[in-house]
Every structure is written in C-alpha cells, then in structure tokens.
Amino acid sequence: MSTRKVIVTIAPTGGFVTPDLQPYVPTQPDQIADEVHRCVDAGASVAALHARRPDHAATCDPDIYRRINDLVRARCDVVINNSTGGGVGGDMVRHGEDGADVLDWTERLRGLDGGAEICTFDAVTTYASTPHGEVLMDTRPSRVLQLAALMREKGIKPEWEVFNPSHIVRELAQLTAAGFDSAPYVVNLVLGMHATFQNAMPYTPRVLQQTVDLLPAGSVFTATVCGPDQMPGLTHALLLGGHVRVGLEDTPYDRAGAPERNVAQVERIVRIIEELGMEPATPAEARQILGLISR
C-alpha cells in the first residue's frame, strides 16, 4: 500500500500583517523568495503569495508579482499561487461614493498577470473588520463570472476559496458545471476568520466535516485554519483526506501571543503528517495531485 502524499502550502505574507506588528513576516520580493525556499526545504510544495509595495502595503501589481515569482523560481521548485484578494490597504482600497472603503476590483484582477500556475478564486462578498475600519470586498455575481472567464482565458487553474458552505453550493457548483474549471477542483477551506470577515466560519470538527461533505466529486481540498485552532484543525483535515496550509498570513502568533516563524509552522505540520503515516508531497507530486501537469 502506497503512502499518502500530502500537499503542504506555505502562505508566508498575506495582505494584512506588517513588520511593525510581526517582525518575521516577509514583504519584499527577495525576503519572500528566501522564506519560500526555506519552507520548501522543510517540506512545503505550494506557495500562496501576496504582493506588497516597498512600504509594505498590499498590492496586486503584476510587476511586483512577476518579480516575486521569478525570484522564487530561481531559488527552488514550488507551485506558485498568487492572490486576487490582495489585502485591505495600500493599492487595494478606494473610497466609495458614500465614503466607505471598498476593495478595488480592477486592482484585484491585475493579480492574474503575475505568471502564477494557480490564482485564488475569491467569490466572497464581505466586510472585513480592520484596525482602520470596515472594508467591503464586493464580488457580485457579474464579477464572479468575469473572474472565472479571465482565469479560463489565461489558462490559470483557480483555487476556489471557501469561507462558508454557500461558496461550494453556489459558485463552485455553478461555475464548474458551466465548464469554467475541470477536475480536480482545487478548493481551499478557510476557517477561523470569523472575527475579521463577516460571513466566515470558525473551525469546529462539525463545521469542517459538514463543509467537506458538501464538496463535489473530483475536489482536492486544502484546509486553512487560522488562529489557535490551527494544528488541531489541520490534523482533523489530514484525517479527512485533505491537504494543509500554514504560514504567517493565517496564524502570525502562537497561543501565547508571541510572533511565529513560517518555517517553524511547516516543520510542525510535517511532523504531524509523518506521525500519521503520511509523507509531504514534492512539488512534482503536488502538480500531479492538483491537475497541473497537463496544463
């Protein structure tokens, strides 16, 4: 009987945390590339990357994404996944007519042009609660269709980000049925962001089980569990047949509130994977599992 291969995704940066809050978060292209290299050496095979400006603020500038991606590829082999969510500041936010802060849709779409194998498909419409106030992420149905069509046109594999079960039974089910993606469907189940994103779900064993039960046939799922439930939740996901994501984007601090390191999180989940009799997948194995070989 062959040993099950588990994809470990590292999300080293994200679109929120800055070095003044977390000294170990990498924000500049060379820093991100070095961090990804260390994490790949520790067992990661996918890198979920956000771009930042020189002042550390969020952006989806494709030139910055291409610079990051090129530097990562020069250092190591890894599957690259660029965010189309971006973040809640910097180039990503504009002021609406009513004075509310809204994520810039045009800026989000620019993230598709960084040369990644995968890009996040964020169909969520939500208010994010930030230290600077509420920010609306407006992904109305027409925009969901536009994002799906652009990904298909550019040959990008979507990573369907699921913050609550409605994203499975609506966007994932409808758009795959309409031919905007083919199996395996790459799905990231994001739990534990309920304090930040309106309509997001916490991690509990029942929530994760019920969410997994809704996935369509042909899905390959990764669990992202943010905050103090990270390792129990990811262990549960492994037992359900899933893959796992770690990194400072999702859990920048440990249970005691001390700053974490990306590579420490990778090493921790790899130990759990091996204790369960599984093995971390190589980047080549990850591409096979995710259906990227033929693309």
Report d(CA 119, CA 108) in Å as an integer: 11
Q: Which two tokens stand for residue 228?
A: 């103090």
Averaged pLDDT of the chain: 96
pLDDT at 181 over 70: yes
Q: Which pTM was predicted?
A: 0.96
Beta bridge partners of 159: 120, 186
Predicted pLDDT at 1? 67
Q: What is the pLDDT of residues 135-170, one digit of tens each?
A: 999 999 999 999 999 999 999 999 999 999 999 999
Rg (CA), the chain: 17
Band (pLDDT 50/70/90 cuts) for residue 132 is confident
- What's the half-sphere exposure (Cβ side, CA atoms, 13 Å) at 243? 25
Which amino acid appears at position 214 of this protein?
L
Residues 190, 117: contact at Cβ < 8 Å? no
- Short-list 118, 248, 272, CA closest to 188: 118
pLDDT at 130 over 90: no
pLDDT at 99 over 80: no
Report d(CA 219, CA 143) in Å as an integer: 23
pLDDT at 89 over 70: yes
The set of long-range contacts for 37-41, using a CB threshold of 8 Å and a minimum separation of 24, is: 37/72, 37/75, 37/76, 38/262, 38/263, 39/10, 39/12, 39/247, 39/262, 39/263, 39/266, 40/10, 40/76, 40/77, 40/78, 40/283, 41/76
Report d(CA 268, CA 177) in Å as an integer: 38
Report d(CA 117, CA 203) in Å as an integer: 28
166 CA to centre of own chain: 18
Domains, the chain, ranges and CATH?
A: 5-290 (3.20.20.70)
Q: What is the pLDDT of residues 272-284, one digit of tens each?
A: 999 999 999 999 9
Predicted pLDDT at 85? 93
Q: What is the pLDDT of residues 49-70, one digit of tens each?
A: 999 999 999 999 999 999 999 9
